[in-house]
Structure 1
């Protein structure tokens, strides 16, 4: 099956400044990815805008998530707390075997839960993205939040994720909704419909492909 494709435009030799507010003029060159769905929830998904660009050194990404009820669990700064918060996610794989693949889950703070994963949801939380090869910043406003970052192309190559100017990628969002008993439950949102009966991003069918374009 042919993978859904997103064109990552080249942003030039001057690069892009990651500030967390997504206002660098270079972002005007990017293709806006906004066709997100929740395959397991009939309610409409609030607007999510994702953009990516690249230069000689980095892959840049930016989420603008329209939401006036952002939930961040402030119990502590552990992965468990991030896992109970609104967040955006990028997964990268070297091939459809998912052996391994790499996960970045980022809440609006921004706190990063990065880990290496294997088929059947086997997670290695002792693994972290190579130090110095990822920058993440964010900003929360009244009606939206922004998560913006840069990932070095070197790290993507070293992990065998960038091949022939393509990166097989999953793009996701977890939205935590407050229930009448003051607990929270997530709505799972993705760029690609995984075609599963229950929510599951940790599956080959949830990935698309980023194509690095020279224009």
Structure 2
């Protein structure tokens, strides 16, 4: 997966046809966590980077959304993964791959970020960490698509400065629909019921054209 350089940091938007997003290279996730094709929920993901930030955009088709009642957009929502979300797992440590960061956004604009250390028995406690990332989301009910964008400070995920050629360990996920009809979509199938399988992460390279 390639993240394409951008000269400046614009206001975060969710329009894949905007000048910022259209210059990126789309990646698609269209199988469940065990690798079984699930083309109905084929999700487009775009990514860009600047000297200070790493950006992601999810374009997520749906049939029925599983939304948390009374959403709180002013503070992070722990256990947001129990609802419809798009997720990015990012690791810069190629020695201890069990350490990485997790970022989630819901169709309603709720969010949570976590510092994951699978060497600890209760890695879920990592939600108390704060990256300072920004997000934007919207639902197109007529088209049955929701859009979620993330702006992640590069310093929150990597001790290096952002630079062309930097490689990161990444996986992308979606949880879609109610428990009775739940679809778990992954970019790199984990071959497990859990998304937390760092051995199955793919690679993201920062590219400057």
TM-score, length-normalised on structure 1? Answer: 0.80
Counterpart check, 1:26 vs 2:24: no
- Cα distance in 2 for partners of 1:47, 1:85 equals 18
SS of aligned partner of 2:156 = helix
- Cα distance in 2 for partners of 1:137, 1:84 equals 19
Deviation at 1:76, TM superposition (A): 5.8
**Conserved? CA contact 2:48–2:56, under 8 Å:** yes
Per-residue Cα deviation, 1:151-180 (whole angstroms, up to 9, x for no partner):
12222234x696851111111111123xxx
Structure 1 stretches of 4+ with a deviation exceeding 6 A read: 160-163
Per-residue Cα deviation, 1:69-88 (whole angstroms, up to 9, x for no partner):
222121664424x2321110
Within a 5 Å distance, the mapping from 1:87-106 to structure 2 comes to 87-93=85-91, 94-95=93-94, 97-106=96-105
Match of 1:84 in 2: 82
Per-residue Cα deviation, 1:122-171 (whole angstroms, up to 9, x for no partner):
3224532333xx1101111111000012112222234x696851111111
**Conserved? CA contact 1:21–1:138, under 8 Å:** no
Counterpart check, 1:47 vs 2:42: yes
- Cα distance in 2 for partners of 1:125, 1:63 equals 24
Deviation at 1:45, TM superposition (A): 4.0
Q: Please, what is the CA RMSD of the aligned residues?
A: 2.5
**Conserved? CA contact 2:58–2:147, under 8 Å:** yes
State the aligned residue count.
198
Match of 1:189 in 2: 185
- Cα distance in 1 for partners of 2:96, 2:40 equals 30
Match of 1:10 in 2: 5
Gaps of 5+ in 2: none
Deviation at 1:89, TM superposition (A): 0.4
Taking a change above 3 Å as real, the CA distance of residues 189 and 140 of structure 1, as seen in their structure-2 partners, is: same
- Cα distance in 2 for partners of 1:167, 1:129 equals 20
- Cα distance in 1 for partners of 2:161, 2:198 equals 15
TM-score, length-normalised on structure 2? Answer: 0.82
**Conserved? CA contact 1:97–1:204, under 8 Å:** no
Counterpart check, 1:205 vs 2:205: no
Deviation at 1:48, TM superposition (A): 0.6
